[in-house]
Structure 1
Amino acid sequence: MSIEITKCNLEDLQTLQEVSIETFYEAFKEQNSPESMEAYLEKAFNLEKLELEISNISSQFFLIHFNNEVAGYLKININEAQSEEMGDESLEIERIYLKTKFQKHGLGKVLLNKAIEIATDLDKKKVWLGVWEENENAIAFYKKMGFVQTGTHSFYMGDEEQLDFIMTKTL
């Protein structure tokens, strides 16, 4: 079993788009209409938008490989790239997704620890993320990893407003 994390650059754009669409769709297809899913996937993961995100110096993407196969990815934000104003002492985990067949192998913990390691290296005091209020498995995982709910924010799937819990871990 080999696990490797690599930082994304522009050459990884196509792979990043593919894993982003696949993992988001797998995670939320059952709870959302096909129209809302299609609208969100096109808006959030088109190549132009991903290229802008990869090029932002306050954001970083990482691919995780399991036995030489792309298993998922991580996106972190600092400073003004954070999706909520959390200040300079915070690092946001905006996206942490794994393909279904790679879940339950400890890879989510590996990605989460990568984000915490970067936050520590950058002298951040907090790591935070948003997680859909109905994603009970993810909420339980984050609680187990030391995160606590500190607020909420809206997330839009197409025209539909959903509620995300903001969960924070103090470092």
Structure 2
Amino acid sequence: MSSPLRITVAKRTASVAAQLTELGRQTFQATFAADNRPEDMATYLAENFSLEKQLAELQDPQTTFLLAHMQQELVGYAKLSLNSVLGLEEGKPATGRLEIERLYVREDWLGTGLGATLMRRAIEEARTHSCRTIVLGVWEHNRRAVEFYKRFGFKEIGRHAFQLGDDVQNDLILRKGL
């Protein structure tokens, strides 16, 4: 018997953008609101999770969204970007690199294995595109996520600034070779 969980590549439509906007705002808020000022959260959400921004991200040919549906309900997603320069020395080619920009799972799905399923599928996508490296940025204080990525073999290779409203935070840059 097959699982009712489906992971699919997103269609590049306004209705999918609306779903990403809603789930992105919901999961980002649930994960980070307690540790950040409300005004910084509001600014970040407005700038990064508008319908227009999500539709533009969907339209980018270098970007793929993997959607996790249980029944007909979106419960998680991953945003993948080809040829990422994250953590790359200046002047080095970005080809063969995939960045996991977001791996978001609805709060009531944390701890169910959904994140691991999305990660395995992201790794498959990297291999499909002949990528040799996967990179990602994760907030240094998000210990749960850092440990999750390390279980998949990601290693810290650097740090970079992450702007959340007026607050400049530190993200760890993690890398996994394929």
* TM-score of the alignment, normalized to the shorter chain, above 0.5: yes
Query: 1:59 pairs with 47, 63, 74, which one?
Result: 63
Unmatched segments (≥5 aa) in structure 2: 89-93
**Residue identity in the other structure for 2:163:** Y
> Which of 22, 28, 37 is the equivalent residue of 1:24?
28
Q: CA deviation at 1:72?
A: 1.2
1:36 corresponds to which letter in structure 2?
D
Are positions 1:2 and 2:9 aligned together?
no
Any conservation in 1 of the 2:17–2:54 contact (CA below 8 Å)?
A: yes
Structure 1 residues 40 and 135: CA distance shift in structure 2, 3 A: same
Q: Does 1:153 align with 2:160?
A: yes
User: Structure 1-normalised TM-score?
Assistant: 0.94
Residue pair 1:2, 1:68 contacting (<8 A) in 2 also: no
Q: TM-score, normalised by structure 2?
A: 0.90
Secondary structure of the structure 2 residue equivalent to 1:113 = helix
Q: Which residue of 2 aligns with 1:36?
A: 40
Among 12, 16, 19, the alignment partner of 1:15 is 19
Structure 2 counterpart SS, 1:153: strand
Give 1:106's aligned residue: 113
Per-residue Cα deviation, 1:63-100 (whole angstroms, up to 9, x for no partner): 21134421111100012xx3636411210000001111
Unaligned ranges ≥5, structure 1 = none
Aligned-partner Cα distance in 1 for 2:87–2:149: 21
Paired residues of 2:27 and 2:104 also in contact (CA < 8 A): yes
Paired with 1:91 and 1:69, the residues of 2 have a C-alpha distance of 27
**Considering only aligned residues, what root-mean-square deviation do their CA atoms show, in Å?**
1.3
**3-state DSSP of counterpart to 2:160:** strand
How far apart are the structure 1 equivalents of 2:59 and 2:6?
Answer: 22
2:51 aligns to what? 47
Indicate the percent of aligned positions where both proteins have the same amino acid.
37
Aligned length: 169
| Distance change (3 Å), C-alpha of 1:167 and 1:85 | closer
| Aligned twin of 2:91 | none
Question: Residue 126 of structure 2 aligns to a residue in which SS?
Answer: helix
